Structures are given as C-alpha cells and as structure tokens.
C-alpha cells in the first residue's frame, strides 16, 4: 500500500528568471562560476574563490544562496521548491557569516517540512564555506508545528542523527539530485 500524500495537488508556479542570469546581466558573476575566475585566482580549500595571495575572499549574497536552493526537488512531487514557492528569494537573508533561510510549507500541516528543511541545510553545508552558520526556519504562521520543526532543524545532534539514518539520507539525496541544475532555465 502506498503512502497517501499530504498535498495531493499542490499549486505550481512559473519559475522566475534565474538570479545568476540577472547577476551576469548586471555584470556580477556567481562566485562558483568558472568563467568568473581570472588567471590569478584559484579555488580555495574551504570552498570559496580566493586570490593567489590568499588575502581576498568574496562574500556570498542571498541571490547566490537562492540559486543553490531553488532547484531542490520536493520529497512528494517531482517539482522544484522554487516552483512550489517553498523557497523564495525574499525569505533568504545573509548577514556576515550567517545565512538565514525561511521555508514556506505548501500546507499548514505538511509532514515533509522537516525533511525539506534538512535537505536545505545539507545543500548549504555542502556548498558554502565552513565559516557560514546556517539557520533554517519555517516562515512564521505557515505551519501548525513551526516551533517544533524549527527546534529540530537547528539542533546539531538531531540533524546529525537524521543524517546517520541511511533511509532518511537516501531521501535527502533524492531531493538534492536536481540541485546541480541551479540557474538552469
């Protein structure tokens, strides 16, 4: 017997123009784009580009974080979190070394919110330099158990225990399998 979906028929929205394309049109390339590197730059050991002298390093912005997250697939539907408006550019905040992401569940009783938040966290932990602190939260007023879900998503021991569960990690990997398509039209 198959599991019944929380949201059988979610609203799917048209994708927005890639923020990386907007950045390139404005003259600022993504930090992770190979074409953004000059001859004297190299990939730094901590996952960011630095000059050969090691003195400069460029900070990320909310648009780049959004590009990392937008193409993650929903665990119940083969649709991106961007298309479901679970992640939105205006709900991502970067200040110094802190990244704060608010996710919006498609329904107030979504049982997949914790799994989606875990997928967002794993994506950012893998893609960002370790100097960044990542906080994932449910957008206020959008989920019946927002406090409990927020506590789970930001507790290091709970996150680590979840990632040690092979089945759960497999589901997260499935959600992230489309994450390399960030910025694709």
pLDDT band at 77 (very low <50, low <70, confident <90, very high): confident
Q: Can you give the C-alpha Rg of the chain in angstroms?
A: 17
What residue spans define the domains of the chain? 19-180
- Tell me the pLDDT band of 35, cut-offs 50, 70 and 90: very low
**Phi, psi (deg, nearest 5) at residue 94:** -125, 125
* pLDDT tens, residue by residue, 109-149: 999 999 999 999 999 999 999 999 999 999 999 999 999 99
- The β-bridge partners of 121 are none
Query: Residue 167 belongs to what H/E stretch?
Result: helix 166-176
Q: CB within 8 A of 40, min separation 6: which ones?
A: 51, 52
What is the rounded CA–CA span in Å between residue 32 and residue 121?
Answer: 18
Q: What is the pTM of this model?
A: 0.72
Q: Give the strand order in the sheet containing 98-103.
A: 92-95, 98-103, 133-138
Predicted pLDDT of residue 170 = 95
| H or E segment and range at residue 107 | none
Q: What pLDDT digit, counting tens, does each position of 153-167 carry?
A: 999 999 999 999 999
- Hey, what CATH topology would domain 19-180 get? GMP Synthetase; Chain A, domain 3 (3.30.300)
């Amino acid at each position: 017997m198959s599991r019944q979906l929380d949201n059988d028929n979610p609203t799917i929205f048209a994708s927005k123009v890639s923020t990386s394309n907007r950045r390139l049109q404005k003259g600022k390339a993504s930090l992770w784009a190979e074409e953004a590197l000059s001859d004297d730059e190299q990939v730094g050991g901590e996952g960011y580009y630095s000059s050969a002298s090691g003195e400069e390093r460029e900070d990320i912005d909310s648009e780049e974080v959004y590009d990392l997250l937008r193409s993650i697939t929903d665990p119940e539907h083969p649709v991106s979190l961007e298309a479901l408006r679970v992640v939105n550019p205006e709900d991502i905040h970067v200040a110094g070394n802190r990244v704060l992401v608010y996710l919006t569940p498609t329904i107030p009783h979504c049982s997949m919110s914790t799994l989606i938040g875990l997928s967002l966290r794993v994506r950012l932990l893998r893609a960002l330099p370790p100097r960044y602190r990542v906080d994932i939260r449910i957008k206020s007023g959008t989920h019946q158990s927002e406090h409990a879900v927020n506590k789970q998503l930001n507790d290091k021991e709970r996150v680590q225990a979840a990632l040690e569960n092979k089945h759960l990690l497999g589901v997260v990997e499935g959600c992230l399998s489309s994450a390399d398509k960030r910025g694709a039209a």
